[in-house]
Structure formats: structure tokens, C-alpha cells
A and B are shown apart, each in its own frame.
Chain A
Amino acid sequence: MYTVIPTLIGLAVALLVDSKVRGEALFKGAIFTPWAISPVVVGFIWTQMYNPSSGLVNGALRAVGLPQLAHPWLADASLVLPAINMAASWVRTGFAMVIFLAALRGIPAELIEAARIDGAGLWQGLWHIVLPLLRPAFTVVIGTSLMLSVGAFDEVWVMTKGGPGFSSYLLSVYLYISTFQTHQAGLGAAIGVVMFLLSSVGGFIYVRHMIRGEASY
């Protein structure tokens, strides 16, 4: 889940932007900008967005007549992780878009034209020609996203410090607390090893791709 949203929206936006729209730079800028904001600030921005009384999320829900959907997002144990995930997706979508867009621009126009001439419709062309050619981009986006998810700390620490209760107690939060607050350095190091093992799943795919440089169209 934590990888799906940015990947799909990033891909969709890249495809839309790639169809020769005017104001491309503006649209790209809007979606890519969060990526340049410090994760801590992202955490504060979304803490404010989710603020039960003065936040925009609840404010918008009330404004459109759905006050029953307004929640204390970060204080609800069952909503806190999806809420944090939304904030992280907000950042990563821009990265996914940029990677997909670069890959799309690398596809020779003749390929798409040839498919067109052979009678492929828009969807057929997309499904049989474009998506397979985007495979390296998918590797990069999904690989980095998996790795980042394992190491995620900043936003979570700023927004919830692992709470409410232990509901957003991610590995990195556990590692920080055990190393620096409860002074169990051995436990911290052990969590570090677990994180490394988990992260190496996404990381291995990504690094192998980086070293091979398999992006040849």
C-alpha cells in the first residue's frame, strides 16, 4: 500500500503531462515541490492538515457537508498509519512522476507511431508498448519506495512519536527510542540489523539495476 499510491498517481500524472500539454512546467512543479521540503516540515504541514479543529482536512470535509467523516486523524489508532502514509505519498508522487516522465521521454516516438499504424488504440498502445518499456522506471520507483518505507522516521517522529499508544511505532522509531531514550544500545543495534534485512529486499533490486544500468531502449 505504501508504494502503490505514489507509483500509480506518479505514473498517471507523467502520462498526462507527457501528452504535450501547455503549462507543463507548472503542473510538474506543483507535484514535484513537496519533494524539496524537509521531511520534518512535511511532518508539521500534515500535523496541521490533520489538526482536528483548525486543520484543512476536517475543515474541507465540514465545508462540503460531510462532518461525519471528520476525525482526529492522528489520535485514532486505526487511522494514524494511513494518515502518515498519505503525507509520505504526497512527497513521493513527485519523485515517481519525474522518473516515469524521464523514461517516457526516452521511448522513441517511432515505436508508438508504429503501433498506431498497426491499428493499436490508445489503451492497447499503453498496455502493450509503453508500460513494458517503463519496466526499469517501475524498478526504480518501487525499489526506492520500499527502501524508504523501511527507514521512515522523520515524518512519523514529528507527527506522532510512535503514538497513539504503539500504533505508529515503526522500526526506526523503536530503534531511536531504544538507543537514545531507554539506553538499550544492544536492542537498537538488533533492530538495525532487522531493518537492514528488510530494506535489502527493495535495495537489492534497485542496486542491481543501478550497477547493471539496464535502461536500454
Chain B
Amino acid sequence: MVAVASERVSSRPRVAPRPLRLKRLLLYLGLLIISVLWLAPIGSQLNTAFKSQAETYATPAWQLPQRPTFENFDRAWAKIQPQFVNTFIITIPSTLMSVGIGALAAYSISRLRFVGSELLYLAIVGSFVIPFGSIVPTLVNMLDQLGLYDTFAGIILTHAAHGQMIMVFMLARFFKGIPDEVVDAARVDGCSALGVLWNIVLPLSTPALAAGVILQFAWIWNDFFKALIIVPTTASAPVTVALQGFTGQYATEVGYRSAASLIAALPSLIVFVTFQRFFVRGITSGALKG
């Protein structure tokens, strides 16, 4: 309210007190400077990717390429294409599984009261405290014994399981908000527990499910550490692991590497720009809402 009033004043320069307008100006200036600083690294990466190797050494970093070239992108794409496909093979089933299993788990925990459901919830959500690094040695050992080390199945199951703490947290919280009457009415009409989930709860929860799918997609797409330890070989590695090959032992072609990393970042960036609303809703609902 206060801010609306001040804006109305500032749009009438005659009446507006001077300091207020100066403040607004400083405000925009501050935001502009921070935004430019924050976008500069991405801009610099793009700029480098369009320069030839010779030009990256000959010209200052802030100078636009004299003769922009797509050669870096062509070569980078040719090299990482198989791993780019691998990332899709890993990301899509992992995302669907983690949201699907998360929905089932969240539903049973939040809606079907059973002995120990609270404890189960605490155990799943509480595992958030454990840094992924600390389970690495055991996890790799376990996958190895199951014959899943360095397989798509191994990494997909890991992603699906590791996604549970955040999915169960987000979805259980959302499911709890659905009024009891709605669910009870369906039960009285003869719907099974699964029927209620499928016909009533899930359709009502599309915003939460959408946020879950998008967050998981981006996180799994961007994952590096899990892939590095579970699927390290080129045949099954995702694109993030393949990027390592672009840093040479002695000399690195920086334009070539910049192009490759931009290609690798593109899908999650597109998803992010398109669905930014869901991202914001996803991370804030997980973090703040009581």
C-alpha cells in the first residue's frame, strides 16, 4: 500500500518531493548494475563460444567476436551428442519415477493413517540432512553387488530414490491441504484408496505435481556427482560427465569448451525460462509455507 502511494506521487513530477525521485533512480540503477553483473558470466561464455581459438587469445574477453563462427558449436555437438541422448534416457524415467513414487508415498503417509506413518515421514524428510557425499562409498558398493554399477538402471533408481525426500515433503504437505470431506465422499461412494488418489487427489494437485516434475527434471539434468560415481564411462555417462573431456591436460580450446557447456546447459535453461513460476513455487513451498 505504502509503495503504491509513493509511486503515484512520483509519477507526478510537479508535486513529487525531489529525494523520492532520486531514490527511485538509485533503486533502478542498483538493480540494473546487479543484473548486468549477474548476466555477465553467461554473456562472456556465449562470446567466447563464438570466437575461434586464435581470436580468444588475440582479443580481450569483453570484445565481441570479429568473425563469429559456429565451428565450435558444430564440433562440440558432434562430440557430445551421444551423451546428450544419454542424459535424456536418464532424466525422463528418473523424473517420472521420483514424482510417481513420491506421490504414492506422500499419499499413504498423509492420508492413510497407519502405525509409524509419522515416523516414516520424519525418516524420509529428515534424510535431507545427510549430504549425498557421505553415502557414496556404501551406495557404489551396493549398486556393484546388485550388478547395477555403470548402468542406466543404477543411476535412474538412485535419482528416483534420492528425489523422495523432497517429493514426499512437497506432496504430503499439499495432499494434507485437501479437505477431508472430498476424500471421504469418494470413499463412501465405493472408491478404493488408489482410486481416490488417481481420481480425486492427483487432479486436485496438478500445481504441486507440475512443480515437482520441473524441479526434478532440472536437478537430474544438471546432476554431475551422482553420474560421475555411478555411470562414469562414456557409453552410459550423461553430458555433464562428458564435459570433463573438454579440459585438456596442457592446453584447452576455450571456445570449443564454452560451446559444449552451453549446449549441455540449454535444455534445463529452456525448461527454467518457460516454467520459472513453477520453480519459484516449488522451492518456496518446500521451504517456507507452514
Q: Note whether A and B form a binding pair.
A: yes
Contact with B along A107-141 (1 / 0, CB 8 A): 00100110010000000000000000000110010
Number of interface residues of A (CB under 8 A): 88
B128 lies within 8 A of A210 (CB): yes
> What residues of chain B lie closer than 8 Å to A17, measured between beta carbons?
31
**Interface-lining segment among B39-47, B109-117, B178-186, B200-208:** B39-47
Give, as a whole number of angstroms, the nearest-CB distance from A72 to chain B.
14
B284 lies within 8 A of A98 (CB): yes
B137 lies within 8 A of A199 (CB): no
B280 lies within 8 A of A102 (CB): yes
Docked Cα-Cα span, A116 to B39, in Å, equals: 36
B284 lies within 8 A of A63 (CB): no
Docked Cα-Cα span, A88 to B57, in Å, equals: 27
A172 lies within 8 A of B42 (CB): no
Interface residues of B in 216-232 (CB under 8 A from A): 218, 221-225, 228-229
> Given that A30-B38, A44-B243, A51-B254 are contacting pairs, would A59 and B264 also be in contact in the complex, using a CB cutoff of 8 Å?
no
Nearest residue, chain A, Cβ from B265: A41
> Known pairs A36-B279, A44-B258, A59-B60. 15 more at Cβ < 8 A?
A26-B35, A33-B42, A33-B269, A36-B222, A37-B222, A56-B40, A56-B41, A56-B61, A109-B2, A113-B2, A144-B287, A147-B129, A172-B131, A192-B138, A203-B130
Interface centre among B125, B128, B268 (most CB of A within 10 A): B128
A113 lies within 8 A of B133 (CB): no
Interface centre among B218, B221, B268, B284 (most CB of A within 10 A): B284
Give, as a whole number of angstroms, the nearest-CB distance from B98 to chain A.
18
B288 lies within 8 A of A99 (CB): yes
Nearest residue, chain A, Cβ from B133: A172
Number of interface residues of B (CB under 8 A): 78
Docked Cα-Cα span, A195 to B136, in Å, equals: 12
> What residues of chain A lie closer than 8 Å to B229, measured between beta carbons?
176, 179-180
Task: Among A16, A40, A48, A106, point to the contact of B27 (Cβ < 8 A).
Answer: A16
Task: Among A20, A63, A103, A207, point to the contact of B3 (Cβ < 8 A).
Answer: A20
> What residues of chain B lie closer than 8 Å to A137, measured between beta carbons?
288
- B257: interface (CB < 8 Å): yes
Docked Cα-Cα span, A34 to B31, in Å, equals: 16
Docked Cα-Cα span, A94 to B38, in Å, equals: 10
A207 lies within 8 A of B128 (CB): yes
Docked Cα-Cα span, A154 to B125, in Å, equals: 24
Give, as a whole number of angstroms, the nearest-CB distance from B284 to chain A.
4
- A162: interface (CB < 8 Å): no
Docked Cα-Cα span, A100 to B262, in Å, equals: 29
Docked Cα-Cα span, A112 to B28, in Å, equals: 22
A90 lies within 8 A of B136 (CB): no
- B1: interface (CB < 8 Å): yes
Give, as a whole number of angstroms, the nearest-CB distance from B42 to chain A.
7
> Given that A36-B218, A56-B61 are contacting pairs, would A203 and B129 also be in contact in the complex, using a CB cutoff of 8 Å?
yes
